[in-house]
Amino acid sequence: MAKIKYTKQELKRQRDALQRYERYLPTLQLKKQHLQAETRVLEERIRANDARVSELERGLSGWVRLFSEDVDLGAHLRVGQIRHHTGSIAGVSIPELDDVTFERSVPDLFATPPWMDDGLEVVGDLIRLRIERLFLERQRTLLREELRTTSQRVNLFEKVKIPEARENIRVIRIVLGDLQAAGVARAKIAKQKTGHLLEMA
C-alpha cells in the first residue's frame, strides 16, 4: 500500500479516485463479458470450419487413389489474392477475411484425368477453409490477449484499487477525527488555563 498523507486534500484525492474506479469498473466488466461471448462465438466458428474441412476430407477419401496418379494440381490451381479488412470486436482490431480468389488454368481434357475439375474444386474449397482458419485463429489470439488484459484490470480494480481507496478513506477519516478531537481538547485546556490566569490576575 502506498504511503498516504492524513490531510483533507488527501481525503478528497482518495474519494475522487474511488469514484473513478467505481465508475470505470462496470465498463470493464461489460467489456470482459462481451469479449467472453465473442470468444465463444469464435470458438464455434472454428469448430464449424474444422467440421467442414473434415467433411471435405472424408469426401476426398474415395478419391485418394485417384490423387496418387501423377497429376500436378499446382499447375492448374494457385491462390491468386486474399482480400481482407480490419474489423473490430469490443474495441479490438482484428483481421477479417473477405475473399480468396484463385488463378485457375483450364486443364486439357485429353491430357488430364476426368476427375480433375471436381478435384480442383474440392482442393480450392479446402485451401479457402484453411486460410479462413488462419484468420479465425489470429482473431482468437487477439481476443484472448485482450480478455486476459481486461480480466487483470477488473481484478486490479475489484481486489486492489477499490478496497485500497476505501481503506485509505477510512484511515484518513479516523486520523482527521482524532486530530480534530485532540484540537478541541487542546482548545478547552487552553481556555481553562487562560481562565485560570485571568482569575489569578
Q: What is the pLDDT of residue 179?
A: 81
User: Which region holds residue 92: left if phi is over 0, alpha if psi is between -120 and 50, else beta?
Assistant: beta
Question: What is the CB-side half-sphere exposure of residue 28 using CA atoms within 13 A?
Answer: 17
Q: What is the pLDDT of residue 59?
A: 78
Query: Taking a C-beta distance cutoff of 8 angstroms, is the pair 25, 158 a contact?
Result: yes
Q: What is the pLDDT of residue 77?
A: 82
The enclosing domain of 75 has a CATH number of: 1.10.287
User: Which region holds residue 143: left if phi is over 0, alpha if psi is between -120 and 50, else beta?
Assistant: alpha
Is residue 180 in some structural domain?
no
Is residue 179 in some structural domain?
no
**Kind and range of the H or E element at 99?**
strand 92-104
CB atoms within 10 A of CB 35: 23
Is residue 145 in some structural domain?
yes
Q: What is the pLDDT of residue 84?
A: 96
Is residue 76 in some structural domain?
yes
Is residue 171 in some structural domain?
no
Domain count, the chain: 1
Q: What is the pLDDT along the chain (201 residues), one digit of tens a residue?
A: 568 888 999 999 999 999 999 999 999 999 999 999 999 999 999 999 999 999 998 877 666 565 566 666 667 788 999 999 999 988 899 999 999 999 887 766 666 666 677 777 888 999 999 999 999 999 999 999 999 999 999 999 999 999 999 999 999 998 888 787 776 666 677 666 665 555 665
Is residue 17 in some structural domain?
no
Instruction: State the cell numbers at 54.
Output: 473434415
Is residue 199 in some structural domain?
no
Is residue 54 in some structural domain?
yes
Domain extent for 78? 24-163
Q: What is the pLDDT of residue 164?
A: 95
